[in-house]
Structure 1
Amino acid sequence: MDKPDTRRVVLLGKTGTGKSSLANIIFGEDVFRINHFNDLKACISEGKTKSVNGRSMTLIDTPGLFDPGKSDKDMRPEMMRCITECAPGPHAFLIVLKVEKFTEQEKAIVTRIREHFTEDALKHAVVVFTHGDQLNDGEKIDKYVQQSEGLNNLVKKCGGRCHVFDSKYWKNNQQDEYRSNQFQVDGLLNSIEQIVMDNNGGYYTNEMLQRVESEIKKEIELNKLSSGDSSPETVRRLAKSAVLKKLLENGGWSWRKGILGLALATGLMAVVAMWINSKARVKVQIPEKEIIAQPAAAPVKAVQNTFVLIMDRLWDLYEKIYNPWNSFE
């Protein structure tokens, strides 16, 4: 099990903002692999734990989780990995942005973060900028943020917390304390501790995170006898792997069985309606689409088309009503 005082921190942002490099700066060594854009196999969320300034910290890197153009379906496996790694919940989110123009693309990513983790996540968030060398001479990140209404509003919603790093030029800067990664790390750690204090020592959580944590604990209990002399950390890591495997392989099957029964019933009613109206070729309406009842010569094809359209509508309805990440529904 994680140490009681371990801080769980999730790094969020689009590909190319420097999340992995930032994680390595915080840890003080190259722990996370720096992914290349064409290295799809490397784009897997992972968590690493180390001691930073005397405190145990777990950083969860999420390569490209909220990249533009990525659908909810595409995001689902990585979201499952992220949720499993940070269960029962992160103490802080780091929203990672470059020191560059805050475009509609960046705004859209922040919107998706808020949609999937709710507005409460911002109470646990810090805005962290990379590529600090792009700041003007003598300029601090606070002044830079004030020049953009969008950035200013985002930082305010995150409690005014923001820091800036640079993976190339600020490694050993002795001339300017502010332009030193170590100086910024100290400030970031203080911000994380302030978040924990402001939330009475707690962390961000939601129903999904709680359910995943419950599954992890069940897995630990099931394997208690076979774990032997393994450390609690090892036992928990194996349990998390087992739960993640279930999520990725079987996630969502229970709700599919539920709507399948409804679909079969709806499909049967559609077949009856088609049979009654086949000679008159009466139009049978389905929201957003139309089906013309086929004559008896082609009943099988008509039934297939009807069933597919009904399943499409049921899927859309599910996506709107239920939490798409909740594979325990």
Structure 2
Amino acid sequence: MEAAAQIPAGRTTRGGGVHVEIIQGTIETQQVDALVSPMIGYDPQTTGIGNTLHQRVGPQLTAAFKAAAGSEVMLGVPVLVENLPGLPSHAVFFLSLCPWNGDPDGAPVEVLKMGIDSILTSCDSRGFGSVVFPPIGAGLRLSFPIAVVASVLLERLYTFQQQRTSSRPLTVRIVIHPDDHVSSQVFKSTLEEIHQNRAQESKRIVLLGKTGCGKSSLANIILGEDLFTAYHSSVSGTATCQSETRDVSDRKITLVDTPGLFDTERSEEDLKPEIMKCITDCAPGIHTFLIVLKVERFSEQEQAVISRICEYFSEDILKYAVVVFTFGNELPEGMKIEKFIRENQKLSDLVNRCGGRCHVFDNKHWNNNTLQNDYRSNHFQREELLKTIDKLTVERNGQYYTNDMLQAVEREIQREEEQIRQSSPENLPPEEIRNQARRQVANRFLIELAGVATGALLGALFGIEALVRAVTTMIIHPSQAINLIKKVPALMGAPAAAAAGGEAALAVGVGAGVTAAVVATTGGVLGGIIGHEAAQGAETAQDAVERSAKAVIEKRQSLRFS
């Protein structure tokens, strides 16, 4: 008899969602739209599941696979074969993987992650309503430890749930053989651990806006304490990224106050340390973005800030955003913020793109008004804003904005936390361990990534896919990056032809000031790897920049005269 263990966060959301369950049974008997079969190289019969499918289908399996795959397959890129006879499923995803090499952050794990992501995305694009996974990679030929398989598969499912935009219901079933009680227990305990970790975390909220718009004062109002230094000048302002966590109205809130990330007068090199700190403070994901604007005439300067924000924000990210206005005392008597917005088409467009979510505060004059139902009260507006964030979280089924960069940084922070716990002679509070780990990871990555353009870091933070892949790969396993580009071009979002000519593309390089568009190309990515490797041993970020710039120039010259 099959026993199901459902992921609590996977309950069907309004309008449809992802339903994930763990059962014991046989994968080839599942009546679903698609099932997943791992393989090694080009042969679908190199694993136990592939052999079982061949026994049920016969020689037609190999013929259909070759017709769908063509002359070769790529690691981590599934081959979809449909309408195989003798199976209750409509289609089979054949996924070529690398055998386990003992490294939890190595190429085999990255290929497995990419394959899972590709299958889930393909299910959405093809309108599949159900897909079945085995404990993928845990067989005799691939030999992944079951704990690694459970962690990777469940984490990728959670990430898919968080980033998914489709409202069509999708059932994702993990099927474990009836006799494999060990794997079943590992999956269920991993599931429970992930669920507990997600349930205990605070809501991470990032404030965005130009210098002097009132972000720091707004942060103080929301947390109810003067924790952030507020400036009253359009030139001065927050110099460093700052985060604080407090309990507010029975909610645990982490606010991240950013520097003027989108101020045109600040250089990219000045911003890089703040972006890196913001990334570590926000890992593994961001529940809500607050786009902060003043109640004033919407000038060209404000429009430039919004344009720069939207340049890095996809429409998906704006689904997590709330527009918050400050200096509410500037509103005419009796006017609400909604009417103020309607009077400006550009403001109306922005708020509409954020789901109509908007609120207004006043940094000075509304602080003393504590009436529960008075519109011109910061206390009232704070409760309304928190309700909006709660509603947004419910609508997103508890999901937050994340990407591979934020997830990778979170894994590094967790490793650093474990090292601190083991090496510390005294029992430090968990919050102090977390803060130390964040600082160390931020400092280390800042030095290692000094050769990567600031635009690439912004792109990695805000979800530009090619930049996420590029920067994450350089963080996690830079020594393997070139081999991964040659073997698995899709990891970097680069076409196979460009990857094949990757060595020549190194001449393009990524110096300290290359644009984000260049980094998105194979040459830019590989140039970033040169910068990363050259920065090894640097004691400061400036030293790393100088080393990486020198290395890229030398590589360019060697290629020019070779």
TM-score between both structures, scaled by the size of structure 1: 0.75
The superposition leaves residues 292-313 of structure 1 with CA deviations (integer Å, 9 ceiling, x where unpaired) of xxxxxxxxxxxxxxxxxx9787
Which of 431, 435, 439 lines up with 1:233 in the alignment? 431
Q: Distance in 2 between matches of 1:203 and 1:127?
A: 17
2:362 aligns with 166
3-state SS in 1 of match to 2:286: coil
Change (3 A) 1:168 1:231: same
Change (3 A) 1:50 1:314: closer
Query: Which piece of structure 1 moves more, 165-174 or 142-151?
Result: 165-174
Change (3 A) 1:92 1:115: same
The superposition leaves residues 148-181 of structure 1 with CA deviations (integer Å, 9 ceiling, x where unpaired) of 0000000011110100000211112368800000
Alignment of 1:269-280 (within 5 A): none
Asked if 2 retains the 8 angstrom alpha-carbon contact of 1:68 and 1:105, the reply is no
3-state SS in 2 of match to 1:88: coil
Query: Which piece of structure 1 moves more, 244-253 or 12-21?
Result: 244-253
Asked if 2 retains the 8 angstrom alpha-carbon contact of 1:114 and 1:121, the reply is no
Asked if 2 retains the 8 angstrom alpha-carbon contact of 1:66 and 1:75, the reply is no
2:6 aligns with none
The superposition leaves residues 117-172 of structure 1 with CA deviations (integer Å, 9 ceiling, x where unpaired) of 43322111000000001101100000100000000000011110100000211112
The superposition leaves residues 30-68 of structure 1 with CA deviations (integer Å, 9 ceiling, x where unpaired) of 111113659969510110011110111111011222112
Aligned pairs, number: 277
Change (3 A) 1:178 1:320: same
3-state SS in 2 of match to 1:77: helix
2:67 aligns with none
Task: For residue 13 of structure 1, report the CA deviation from its aligned partner.
Answer: 0.3
Q: Distance in 1 between matches of 2:229 and 2:325?
A: 19
Which of 338, 358, 371 lines up with 1:142 in the alignment? 338
Asked if 1 retains the 8 angstrom alpha-carbon contact of 2:210 and 2:262, the reply is yes
**Residues 1:9 and 2:205 are matched in the alignment:** yes
Asked if 2 retains the 8 angstrom alpha-carbon contact of 1:99 and 1:134, the reply is yes
Task: For residue 231 of structure 1, report the CA deviation from its aligned partner.
Answer: 1.8
The superposition leaves residues 13-44 of structure 1 with CA deviations (integer Å, 9 ceiling, x where unpaired) of 00110100001111112111113659969510
- In structure 2, give the amino acid aligned to 1:158: C
1:183 aligns with 380
Q: Distance in 2 between matches of 1:206 and 1:41?
A: 29
Return 5+ residue gaps in structure 1 as ranges: 262-309
2:397 aligns with 200
State the identity as a percent.
Answer: 46
Asked if 2 retains the 8 angstrom alpha-carbon contact of 1:171 and 1:181, the reply is yes
- In structure 2, give the amino acid aligned to 1:229: N
Which of 118, 123, 126 lines up with 2:314 in the alignment? 118
Task: For residue 248 of structure 1, report the CA deviation from its aligned partner.
Answer: 2.3
- In structure 2, give the amino acid aligned to 1:132: G
Q: Distance in 1 between matches of 2:376 and 2:343?
A: 20
1:64 aligns with 260
Asked if 1 retains the 8 angstrom alpha-carbon contact of 2:212 and 2:237, the reply is no
3-state SS in 2 of match to 1:15: coil
Q: Distance in 1 between matches of 2:198 and 2:237?
A: 28
Alignment of 1:288-307 (within 5 A): none
**Residues 1:130 and 2:303 are matched in the alignment:** no
Alignment of 1:244-259 (within 5 A): 244-253=442-451
1:100 aligns with 296
1:271 aligns with none
2:283 aligns with 87
Asked if 1 retains the 8 angstrom alpha-carbon contact of 2:211 and 2:235, the reply is no
Q: Distance in 2 between matches of 1:41 and 1:250?
A: 28
Change (3 A) 1:102 1:200: same
Q: Distance in 2 between matches of 1:158 and 1:49?
A: 25
Which of 405, 417, 441 lines up with 1:243 in the alignment? 441
RMSD over aligned CA atoms reads 3.1
Q: Distance in 2 between matches of 1:66 and 1:31?
A: 23
Higher relative contact order (CA 8 A, sep 6+): 1
Q: Distance in 2 between matches of 1:6 and 1:173?
A: 28
Asked if 2 retains the 8 angstrom alpha-carbon contact of 1:2 and 1:233, the reply is no
Task: For residue 116 of structure 1, report the CA deviation from its aligned partner.
Answer: 2.9
